[in-house]
Structure 1
Amino acid sequence: MKNILLFGAGRSATVLIDYLLQNAARQKWHVTVADHDLQLVKSKTGKSYYATPVALDVTDATAREPLLAEADLVISLLPPALHILVARDCLRFKKNLLTASYLDDEVKKLQPDIDAAGLLFLYEMGLDPGLDHMSAMKLIHSIEKKGGQIFSFKSYCGGLISPESNDNPWHYKISWNSRNVVLAGSAGAVYKEKGKVKEVSYEQLFDHNKTVQVPSIGKLAYYPNRDSLGYMQSYNLENIHTFQRATLRFPDFCEGWNALVKLGLTRDGDKQATDQLPYFQWASQQVTERTPGLSHEETIAQYLGVSSKSKVIRQLKFLGILNGEEINLGERSNADILQHLLDTKLKMESTDRDLIVMLHEIEFERRNLPTRINSFLIVQGENATHTAMAKTVGLPLGIMAKLLLSDKVGLKGLHIPILPEIYNPVLRELEDFDIKFVESFE
């Protein structure tokens, strides 16, 4: 029997755990799920004979090491900053590693050692990044195989809320790690458009009205996602004139989030005492000039340059930012406080359903004819536990785990999923779960 060790049992792990346990008897697997919250793990593994729930402080090396020593494959769904601990252990114990997180510079430094050990470390194997790479590379390779020359690539992805559960002025609910929502875009973004490199600061990121039309969904707003340029070489598209990866949201979300950024409420780092600190006072920390006679609500509206009756103010009020309630969370950063509000006010109710939307727009020329292919994916969740987010993050990892443990992939080294030996079998099995792209040509 082969042992799979999964670190992390949060929102994105649910469907992965289901998949691993559903395959465990046939594949002769045993699955150990380790998380700091033992009750959370037990709620997801149930009474399965093939699962061992473990309470673990992942920063405790003496607790980690025995689990790693017994594993045949390690999967990490930990917060990004903790992956390096697991990666170094996997090297030491000579274990293959799968994760949905971005490939970072710390892990890249390990590449010579990974190669020398003959291991596979596969990063970015979730939704975005992950499913976006696989579906895009399948299209790109297909176009190139037929002699097409690509000159523009745009890819969009968003975790949204389904229309029937869309009942708040943000048109958004938390279906994944809320910390990542708070910090999304904080490093700004860079991409290439019509031959020019565009750099967008965090302060400007949400301050635009760019939209894209998605079949059966309608108009969605988007903002550039991180460093798109870093993927041009990976996709072998270094010479094209437009290359952009972006995040999708309903338009009102971007307008409201832009206000939070302008108010400084997404900043992480410096902490402040919040006991007996009213939310409206916290929200006003950037406001240095005040007009006598204006209410707190009107003062913030004036600072933001909007009407006190605007939808932005309605959004802030919905989060509780403009009321006199005291925060009382101890020493916290702005990002901590905002995360608390999102978890409280934008949480998914048990019957809520989320929505994953992904869209690729590729322009190319073949036989002197300009052509554009649009490829889109829409996945709807079942409820607040079995979400579309958990499905699209977890299933690619689970399928890849099965391929590796069945010796159907002989790949070694440090990779992201851009190779046919990864994306072909994974995309093929995902169709069994109704995760399938629809393509159209213009």
Structure 2
Amino acid sequence: MIPLRRARLASLRSISQHHRLLTTLGIRREDPTRIWERRVPLTPHAISSLLSTHGDELAVEVESCQRRCFPDHTYAQVGAKIVPCLSRDVDLVLGIKEPPVPQVQALVQGQTKKRSWMVFSHTHKGQEYNTPLLASFLGTEKQQTLLDWELLTGPSKRGKLERVAAFGWFAGAVGAGEALSLTGLALLKRGIATPLLHLPRPYTFSTLNAFKSALRETGDAVKSQPAEEGSGAEGPIVIGYTGAGRVSDGVKDMLQELGVEWVSAEDLPKLSGQAAQNRIYACAITPSSYFTRSDGSSYSRDDYFANPDKYQSTFAKNIAPFLTTLINGAGWQIGFPSIMSNADMVSLGRSKLAAVQDITADLKGNLEFVDRHTTIDQPYFEGPNGILVSVVDILPTELAADASEHFSHCIMPYINHFISSPNVPGEVADSLQRATIVDSGELTRPHQWLKARVDSWNTNPGEEIVPPIQTPTSSWRGVEGAVRLRGKKQIRRDGGKKKVLLLGSGLVAGPAVEVFAARKDILLAIASNNAVEAKALAKDSSNVETMLLDVSDEEALGRAVSSSDVVVSLLPAPMHPQVAKHCITYGKHLVTASYVSPEMKALHQAAVEKDVLLLGECGLDPGIDSMAAMRILDRVRREGKQVRSFISWCGGLPEPSASNVPLGYKFSWSPKAVLTAAQNDAVFKLDGKIQHIAGSELLAKHFPKVDLWKGLALEGLANRDSMPYASKYGLGEIDELTDLFRGTLRYQGFSRVLDAFRAQGLISSSLLPKIPGSWSEFVKACRSASEYSGHQYESEAEDALDWLLSTRSGSPPPVFPSNIPPVPIDIFAYLLSDQLKYQPHEIDSCLLHHTFKLSIPGSRKHQTVTASLLSYGTKSSHSAMAMTVSKTLAFAALRVLDGEVKARGVMGPYEREVWEGVLDRLEFEGVKVQERWE
């Protein structure tokens, strides 16, 4: 053995001995706000292999997560330890998407352990919204190393460096599947039914093989049709895809499984008159078929990349008119021509093109009319010329298990290297080095340019440069609207206006927009994924702008938040922690109408440290109810009295003349929220006894008669857990109260019918085993899943269901929603929102009633105090629900914006600085809570 080899073996032996010290690998749970992110970096099989290879040198921790494509128990079975949170013993943290900053801080703060992180961090391009994440890894005292999967490259067969771990093929495969399902729906909207209509979307399959089998079956069904019936007057289905590389390979492979017949771009015009109608044709569309030089010469790849401004696209003229579906997998960069511009779409007009799947998700890029992202649960929007457009940017997670298997296989050599031989040079080590952004707390050489940005963040936490963002108008988020903050002073370039970001444009947003628009010192941006709704709210107000925003797009959300002074959210409550984290990151206040959840409470200290207020419960219930109670309790304390009983009722109902419908109810806010609230567990105290009602029994154990207003036949449901309100309101010890109760009002009959619906499984949150195709199939599937066996109010519920599914409402039921996940409560809420919506001539009402019973120290006298609100909407303006929720929220936000609220952290409207001013403004608007002291 030559000496050099002996030395190398000695070196390896030394490294091996060093790594007999235990290495702990941790798999993090993905951010809970990414509800569809189910992928994993390492599969249970990979963990088993690692533990078998490295034995006692390795321990594995896996954060518990119920969303993953591989359940906790599959990791536990191979020897991993399932933990609620990763311990500080972890040496290597693996994930898919970037970790929230608090998770990094929890592992880093207070220790100097060397630790490496491997994730898609979205920090190496200088992404502004993730500067805090990058900063959290820096500092030699932290000893953290950050590697990015996107930068992990190795030599290809052609000698070039290519990404090692990527999901491109799966993006293409899933994108093709989504495009085919979308095509079936798009053609149906044009009066054409094809077998593609029955092709389930990719996420409904547990494996790639099952998805491929469904593609083959669908292709066979197309071919089995008589040729003359095919696809109707528009000719055969023709699918074209653009792009090259792994994405296009995935598209091609799935179309191959479907059994398409391949044609060239030159053949496309011939298909309309000559091709068989019971075939699906497909075409790989290359740039040479639609890009031409402005001087008339043909496409040259090298020349195109050298002189992109010299090229123009003829796609709308030569390709698009002959396609049924376009799948775009071609990347785009600023300065390069689009495949189809907005002007091209105008010239194209109504054509054969019915569906577009943009896998690249480059907004306003190759397809200029693609101006927003869609989500897996809301996968498409209607684009120009009636085309259905899908722009889902996390497609691989729809086949999470197979995508994870592929990814896990790709990264295994690098994980093994980290565990056993991190100091041994070679191709693997070189790849890891190229992927490293931060090494032991310091930026690596290729990323030194990020230092100035991070230093500014770390050394001047009160100073922020808001990044310019392209929008239709520049005054909100463009360069001219940029803001620099130094401490508490705001120096603006836009005339000194205060900026409010309103998230959401739904049923109750209107009055809030009017409140903000009335203040000419405010610039309001309405951020919504529904451009039509947002623009309708903005009207012609000069200080109101709109922006398209998908809140699942973390980068876009972070940018929008960073450019505001106060964020007002009308989003569903589960989304608020996601928004709140961005508010903390950028030092912005947040005001919502939703209950303060445990997830929000967990952000209290972080908000305090960043001088941020996260103010919740500023609507009607919760909101006005708490404010009205606090005003009474403020006087009770000043007069030295003591509360012995507190009973509160609140509800939103149709005005009696509009209540002759199933459930005696119509929807002026989220139907799903109403159905969910009717199944919440409840705890309260009445007549000296604490009572617990399970959510499944809440409707059955309703209060059948609640007499509060003459002429209103009301019943009630217990509203969640009333016990915390003893401390929230300062009512005293629970043991000293005879009653502590909060309830929800409904018209009599609501609970028994809805309970019968519950028994039938119609408001279940469990996934149905398969996607129903009609309302009758949906009802049958729900009953089967719930093992429905009758209910004492079955006949009443049957009559109500018949009303909902017939024309007795005055209109037919909506077309069954094929784009909604097969979850009964979601589908049933969709039906109710259509059939139980308010008609133009109908109005709603909001009801609130508190009853306090007080004792007077030193006296046997008792006192009853009531607070009552009965507010009606108007036919010509807003609903009562919109007025009470939205204006309350807006007035609270204005007090925060104007510096009237000094508190910081997470809180409800329990302080005088909140409730006093808001109630005064509401009273001025005609929403007055009447107090009566007896």
Is TM > 0.5 for Structure 1 vs Structure 2? Answer: yes
CA contact (8 A) 1:279 1:321 kept: no
Helix, strand or coil: the match of 2:749?
Answer: helix
Post-superposition offset of 1:252? 1.3
Counterpart in the other structure of 1:275: 773
Gaps of 5+ in 2: 1-496
Q: Which has the higher contact order (CA 8 A, sep 6+)?
A: 1
Superimposed CA distance per residue, residues 69-116 of structure 1 (whole angstroms, 9 cap, x where no aligned partner): 211111111111111111000000000110111111111111111111
* 1:17 aligned onto 2:510: no
Post-superposition offset of 1:286? 6.0
Counterpart in the other structure of 2:839: 349
Q: So what's the TM-score if we normalise by structure 2?
A: 0.44
1:197 aligned to which of 690, 705, 709: 690
Counterpart in the other structure of 2:235: none
Comparing both structures, which one devotes a greater share of its residues to strand?
Answer: 1
User: Partners of 1:64 and 1:288 in 2: how far apart?
Assistant: 43
1:112 aligned to which of 589, 596, 605: 605
2:738 aligned to which of 231, 241, 250: 241
1:433 aligned to which of 918, 925, 934: 925
User: Partners of 1:49 and 1:329 in 2: how far apart?
Assistant: 39
User: Partners of 2:631 and 2:610 in 1: how far apart?
Assistant: 29
Counterparts of 1:403-418 in structure 2 under 5 Å?
Answer: 403-418=895-910
Give the length in aligned residue pairs. Answer: 424
Counterpart in the other structure of 2:126: none
Post-superposition offset of 1:280? 4.6
Helix, strand or coil: the match of 2:752?
Answer: helix
1:33 aligned to which of 519, 526, 540: 526
User: Partners of 1:86 and 1:347 in 2: how far apart?
Assistant: 30
Counterpart in the other structure of 1:158: 651
Superimposed CA distance per residue, residues 6-38 of structure 1 (whole angstroms, 9 cap, x where no aligned partner): 111111211111111122x1xx11000101101
User: Partners of 1:417 and 1:426 in 2: how far apart?
Assistant: 9
User: Partners of 1:285 and 1:392 in 2: how far apart?
Assistant: 41
CA contact (8 A) 1:348 1:384 kept: no
Counterparts of 1:28-427 in structure 2 under 5 Å?
Answer: 28-207=521-700, 208-237=702-731, 238-239=733-734, 240-271=737-768, 272-276=770-774, 277-282=776-781, 284-285=783-784, 303-306=790-793, 308=795, 311-320=796-805, 327=816, 329=818, 331-366=821-856, 367-383=859-875, 386-427=878-919
Cα 1:39/1:164, change in 2 over 3 Å: same
User: Partners of 1:51 and 1:259 in 2: how far apart?
Assistant: 46
User: Partners of 1:122 and 1:133 in 2: how far apart?
Assistant: 13
CA contact (8 A) 2:524 2:545 kept: yes
Post-superposition offset of 1:150? 0.9
CA contact (8 A) 2:593 2:618 kept: yes
Helix, strand or coil: the match of 2:590?
Answer: strand
User: Partners of 1:312 and 1:180 in 2: how far apart?
Assistant: 21
Superimposed CA distance per residue, residues 321-352 of structure 1 (whole angstroms, 9 cap, x where no aligned partner): 999x9956365111122112101211111222
Cα 1:415/1:348, change in 2 over 3 Å: same
Q: So what's the TM-score if we normalise by structure 1?
A: 0.90
CA contact (8 A) 2:651 2:744 kept: yes
User: Partners of 1:314 and 1:255 in 2: how far apart?
Assistant: 13
Cα 1:20/1:194, change in 2 over 3 Å: same
User: Partners of 1:145 and 1:101 in 2: how far apart?
Assistant: 30
Post-superposition offset of 1:170? 2.3
Counterpart in the other structure of 2:488: none
Superimposed CA distance per residue, residues 19-65 of structure 1 (whole angstroms, 9 cap, x where no aligned partner): 11122x1xx11000101101110011112110110111011012112
Post-superposition offset of 1:264? 2.0
Of stretches 163-172 and 248-257 in structure 1, the one that deviates more from structure 2 is: 163-172
Cα 1:267/1:280, change in 2 over 3 Å: closer
Which residue type is aligned with residue 234 of structure 1? K
Post-superposition offset of 1:394? 1.1
User: Partners of 2:534 and 2:798 in 1: how far apart?
Assistant: 39
CA contact (8 A) 1:280 1:321 kept: no
CA contact (8 A) 2:752 2:793 kept: no
Which residue type is aligned with residue 18 of structure 1? E
Which residue type is aligned with residue 827 of structure 2? I
User: Partners of 1:316 and 1:362 in 2: how far apart?
Assistant: 40
Post-superposition offset of 1:219? 3.2
Cα 1:57/1:131, change in 2 over 3 Å: same
Which residue type is aligned with residue 2 of structure 1? K
Post-superposition offset of 1:242? 1.4
Percent identical pairs in the alignment equals 28
CA contact (8 A) 2:654 2:843 kept: yes
CA contact (8 A) 2:500 2:524 kept: yes
CA contact (8 A) 1:76 1:99 kept: yes
CA contact (8 A) 1:283 1:321 kept: no
Helix, strand or coil: the match of 1:273?
Answer: coil
Structure index of larger Rg: 2
Counterpart in the other structure of 2:501: 5
User: Partners of 1:102 and 1:186 in 2: how far apart?
Assistant: 16
Which residue type is aligned with residue 13 of structure 1? A
